[in-house]
Amino acid sequence: MGLLENIHSPADLKRLAVEDLPKVAAEIREAIVGQVSRSGGHLAPNLGVVELTVALHYVFDFAHDRLLFDVGHQCYPHKLLTGRQSMLGALRTRGGMAGFPEPRESSYDLFSVGHAGTGISTAVGMSRGDLLNGEAFDPHSNPAGRRVVTLIGDASIVNGVAMEGLNNAGTLKRQFLVILNDNGMSISHPQGAVAQYFDRVRMNPLYADFKRTARRVLGHIPGGSFLEDAYHRAGEATKAWITQRAESGPELGWFEHFGLITVGPIDGHDLPTLIEFLAEARDYDRPMVLHVKTVKGKGCSFAEGDSTKFHSPAAFSVVKADPDSSDLAALQAEGCRVEIKKGGRSFTAAFGEAMMEMMARDPRIVACTAAMPDGTGLTKVLAEFPDRAWDTGICESHAMDMMAGLAKTGYRPFFAVYSTFVQRAFDQAFQEVSLQGLAVRLCLDRAGLVGGDGAVHHGFCDIGILRTLPGAAITAAMDEPSLKAALEFMREYDAGLSAVRYPRDNVSPLFSGAPCPPFVLGKARPLIAHDEPDVAVLALGTCAIDAANAARQLGNELRVAVYDARFAKPVDAALINDLLSRRIPIVTVEDHSRIGGLGSAVLESAAAQSLDASRVTIMGLPDSWIYQDSREEQLLEAGLDVASLVRAFRAAADQPAVVVPRHAAGVAGARQQ
Ligand SMILES: Cc1ncc(C[n+]2csc(CCOP(=O)(O)OP(=O)(O)O)c2C)c(N)n1
């Protein structure tokens, strides 16, 4: 019988002997690989932190202490140890285990997270709150108080928010443990000077064996008195490290400049060592960084070999090299073959190819991604145009400003970024781009509902925030030809910031036979025309494809004119005028919040032209969160599936409005359904 199945909470784990823990780790690994092979999900990041998570729960009591994850994509082992094994089978779907920490699931998860860089800051906040509440751990005055631990990766710690958090963490006068999970990787290779620094620390032979007990006077090295103070508070293993630190010179104590004593790197797969160091860090009464060296994808030969591909793969099958071997042994063996389930042609792939073609044609185009070369389709562009394309690492704000600087020097910058992460760079889009009248082009992948990644990753508000910027041109692509046309429009749009949004989806062939007219600023494209329609639909992006399908289903019953709205800013004011002056009801459809998106822009245009805005119905994402599930299910929940559109078009044409039962939540606006 396995050990894991009897662990219903960390209390059960604590009852085991240290010698049993490697078996628990092996079972966690097997469970994760098995499930991710069936459903897809974050694989390599989770395999890398199995021992670390087991050790953390073995040493701390997170029913009481605080554990905060950065990004949170490495939380599966934590979830398996905190009573959620039965949810693993429905990973990343409704009612199953979310792929990121989720307080709705368990009190062991403190924040819903998914964006990098936040863990240290929220942990600092909770540390301060616990202090104010008189609940903070102190070895003398409150030994039963709460400790605070935050886990962050080596690529995420470079993020500006994390740096701000560290800067503030160093001022805490209490226990505060930052665990740096250093696997030498982001999704791809990490970028920048800090990544190079970590490489040097990891490879420094001094760290091979630092468990020596020699004592030294520390006062003569930079930061020495700080270290000396730390030394007196530390346990034996930490003391040995500090001594080593004193011998190794100032470079290795980088975090100490922030006021955090740094210990490590230690081997993140050696459970006794992890437990020894964590047990000491547990009772240390000042901010500390424990530098833990792990292998991304650990225990799975193919994931270790290509942790980028297996960072977050789709479902896959493993063909065992030896059919008689156990599952885990097979995964560890070299030579097993892995086949990842193939999808169709994605918008991401179409975008990458379009960029290659444009960059070859226009030497003024420059491009960048913030740590997502594969995710945004820019991998080939980076390889082909190393002088004109960059991966900045996880720093969207910097990337936006860098693009502003390039625009200022005469280039045409394209920043490929997930819609959800562009939120990080809104202030830069406002001040350094828009206010200067600079033309930075934003290519917003994963706009709208994103499926299994859930609420933390939906691109639900890009139009809402970017539309406020004067001079911005905000477009959306409904298929591959229209994506190319939008990019071409943006290439030539030098008047200010522009953006094209496209979803985490495959491109539709529905209109690929029809010629795709060029984008003209503020002009919609008719897809299904009627001289006297019963209802006119202005749909944005792939919603135009669904709207066309819905209109076809209505066939002879209703004359539904369908337009690909193309622009959420500026909207087609002349078209709106023509339709509303003829009292033709308009339905707007968008995979974006109903608040502040295309629908709002259409209402504003109607009001500005003194037209009857009560004939406008807005369909979009509801004013509530949509959690993890397939994208199809999420669209259904939002009332943006074809059947819901059919009902809504009928209702709009047929005043007074009819009730739309299950999907009523997806329909709102000037006309309430
Ligand atoms: C603000 C932000 N930008 C980009 C991402 C996408 N992303 C998710 S995980 C990841 C890499 C994180 O690397 P690291 O923290 O070292 O953890 P590892 O995956 O190596 O364990 C990136 C870039 C994100 N989650 N948040």
* E-strand stretches of 93-184: 148-153, 176-182
Dihedral sign, Cα of residue 449, residue 450, residue 456, residue 457 = negative
Per-residue pLDDT at 404 exceeds 70: yes
Q: What stretches of 5-48 show up as alpha helix (H) in DSSP?
A: 10-14, 21-39, 44-48
Q: What is the pLDDT of residue 328?
A: 65
Distance 159 CA to ligand 1 centre (A): 10
Q: What is the pLDDT of residue 160?
A: 94
Q: What is the pLDDT of residue 474?
A: 98
Distance 424 CA to ligand 1 centre (A): 14
Q: Which residue has the higher pLDDT, 153 or 667?
A: 153
Per-residue pLDDT at 668 exceeds 80: no
Atom of ligand 1 nearest to the CA of 159: 1
Distance CA(179)–CA(120), nearest Å, equals 10
Q: What is the pLDDT of residue 224?
A: 53
Buried b (16+ CB within 10 A) or exposed e, 86-107: ebbeebbbeebbbbbbbeebbe
Q: 445: number of CA atoms within 13 Å, CB side?
A: 24
Count of beta carbons in the 10 Å neighbourhood of residue 248:
16
**Cα→Cα distances 127→230, 256, 261, Å:** 19, 19, 17
Helix axes of 224-233 and 236-248: crossing angle, nearest 10 degrees: 160
Q: Are 601 and 467 in contact (CB under 8 A)?
A: yes
Atom of ligand 1 nearest to the CA of 116: 26
Q: pLDDT over 70 for what percent of the chain?
A: 89
Q: Whose CA is nearest to atom 13 of ligand 1?
A: 186
pLDDT band per the 50, 70, 90 thresholds, residue 190: confident
Compute the average pLDDT of residues 476-505.
Answer: 98
Q: What is the pLDDT of residue 329?
A: 67
Distance 418 CA to ligand 1 centre (A): 12
Pocket test for ligand 1, best of 42, 51, 71, 182 (most atoms within 8 A of CB): 71
Compute the average pLDDT of residues 313-340.
Answer: 75
Considering the candidates 79, 296, 388, 566, report the single residue annotated as catalytic.
Answer: 296
Q: Are 445 and 504 in contact (CB under 8 A)?
A: yes
* 424 among known catalytic residues: yes
Q: What is the pLDDT of residue 196?
A: 81
Using omega within 30 degrees of 0 as the cis cutoff, is the peptide bond preceding 509 cis? no
Distance CA(223)–CA(90), nearest Å, equals 50
Q: Tell which residue, 657, 236, 6, 103, has the closest CA to residue 244.
A: 236
Distance CA(158)–CA(382), nearest Å, equals 21
Identify how many contiguous H helices and E strands the chain contains and give both numbers. Answer: 26, 20
Compute the average pLDDT of residues 44-53.
Answer: 98
Q: Which residue has the higher pLDDT, 170 or 669?
A: 170
Which tens digits make up the pLDDT trace of 587-616?
999 999 999 999 999 999 999 999 999 999
Q: What is the pLDDT of residue 246?
A: 61
Q: What is the pLDDT of residue 264?
A: 83
Q: Which residue has the higher pLDDT, 196 or 213?
A: 196
Beta bridge partners of 587: 537, 617
Q: Whose CA is nearest to atom 12 of ligand 1?
A: 186
pLDDT band per the 50, 70, 90 thresholds, residue 648: very high
Which tokens is 401 given?
């400003």
DSSP 222: T
Which of 137-146, 205-214, 484-493, 494-503 has the lowest average pLDDT?
Answer: 205-214
Distance 48 CA to ligand 1 centre (A): 14
Helix axes of 236-248 and 271-283: crossing angle, nearest 10 degrees: 90
Compute the average pLDDT of residues 423-431.
Answer: 98
User: Phi/psi class of residue 335: alpha, beta or left (left: φ > 0; alpha: ψ in -120 to 50)?
Assistant: left
Q: What is the pLDDT of residue 451?
A: 97
Distance 421 CA to ligand 1 centre (A): 11
Per-residue pLDDT at 220 exceeds 60: no
Give the strand pairing for 525-528 and 560-564: antiparallel
Q: Whose CA is nearest to atom 21 of ligand 1?
A: 45
pLDDT band per the 50, 70, 90 thresholds, residue 661: very low
Residues, the chain: 673
SS3 call for 338: strand
Which tokens is 567 given?
């622009």
DSSP 174: S
Angle value at C-alpha 330, between 325 and 336, nearest 5 degrees? 125
Which amino acid type is present at position 57? H
pLDDT band per the 50, 70, 90 thresholds, residue 40: very high
Q: Whose CA is nearest to atom 23 of ligand 1?
A: 371
Residues 46, 51, 52, 54, Cα dihedral to 10°: 100
Distance CA(354)–CA(447), nearest Å, equals 18
Considering the candidates 30, 51, 102, 396, report the single residue annotated as catalytic.
Answer: 396
Distance CA(297)–CA(398), nearest Å, equals 29
**Cα→Cα distances 202→22, 151, 196, 398, 639, Å:** 24, 18, 10, 27, 51
pTM of the model: 0.92
Distance CA(474)–CA(459), nearest Å, equals 14
Mean pLDDT of the chain: 91
Q: Tell which residue, 104, 174, 179, has the closest CA to residue 133.
A: 174
Q: Tell which residue, 126, 106, 132, 4, has the closest CA to residue 65.
A: 126
Buried b (16+ CB within 10 A) or exposed e, 462-476: bbbebbebebbbbbb
Per-residue pLDDT at 77 exceeds 60: yes
Q: What is the pLDDT of residue 256?
A: 79
Q: Are 241 and 281 in contact (CB under 8 A)?
A: no
Q: Whose CA is nearest to atom 15 of ligand 1?
A: 153
Backbone angles phi, psi at 489, to 5 degrees: -60, -45
Q: Tell which residue, 23, 40, 43, 126, has the closest CA to residue 451.
A: 40
Per-residue pLDDT at 398 exceeds 80: yes
Instruction: Give residue for tokens 């090295």.
Output: 221
Q: What is the pLDDT of residue 667?
A: 42
Q: What is the pLDDT of residue 581?
A: 97
Residues 6+ apart with CB under 8 A from 545: 478, 479, 508, 510, 511
Considering the candidates 147, 424, 441, 504, report the single residue annotated as catalytic.
Answer: 424
Residues 6+ apart with CB under 8 A from 505: 346, 347, 542, 631
Distance CA(66)–CA(665), nearest Å, equals 37
Q: What is the pLDDT of residue 346?
A: 97
Q: What is the pLDDT of residue 244?
A: 66
Q: Ligand 1 site: residues with CB under 6 angstroms?
A: 45, 48, 71, 73-74, 114-116, 153-156, 181, 183, 185-187, 296, 370-371, 394, 396, 421, 424
Q: pLDDT over 90 for what percent of the chain?
A: 80
Using omega within 30 degrees of 0 as the cis cutoff, is the peptide bond preceding 570 cis? yes
Atom of ligand 1 nearest to the CA of 154: 16
Q: Tell which residue, 584, 509, 602, has the closest CA to residue 549.
A: 509
Q: What is the pLDDT of residue 223?
A: 53
535-539 β-sheet, strand order:
525-528, 560-564, 535-539, 586-593, 616-621, 667-669
Pocket test for ligand 1, best of 187, 294, 395, 423 (most atoms within 8 A of CB): 187
DSSP 506: B
Q: Are 60 and 278 in contact (CB under 8 A)?
A: yes
Give the strand pairing for 567-569 and 473-476: antiparallel
Compute the average pLDDT of residues 442-471.
Answer: 98
Which of 17-31, 102-116, 190-204, 629-643 has the lowest average pLDDT?
Answer: 190-204
Q: Which residue has the higher pLDDT, 256 or 624?
A: 624
Q: What is the pLDDT of residue 262?
A: 85
Dihedral sign, Cα of residue 652, residue 657, residue 663, residue 666 = positive
Q: What is the pLDDT of residue 239?
A: 73
Which tens digits make up the pLDDT trace of 491-514?
999 999 999 999 999 999 999 889
Distance 382 CA to ligand 1 centre (A): 19
Per-residue pLDDT at 238 exceeds 80: no
Give the strand pairing for 616-621 and 316-319: unpaired
Q: What is the pLDDT of residue 333?
A: 63
Which tens digits make up the pLDDT trace of 333-383?
666 778 888 889 999 999 999 999 999 999 999 999 999 999 999 999 999
Q: Tell which residue, 492, 490, 505, 386, has the closest CA to residue 441.
A: 490
Count of beta carbons in the 10 Å neighbourhood of residue 452:
23
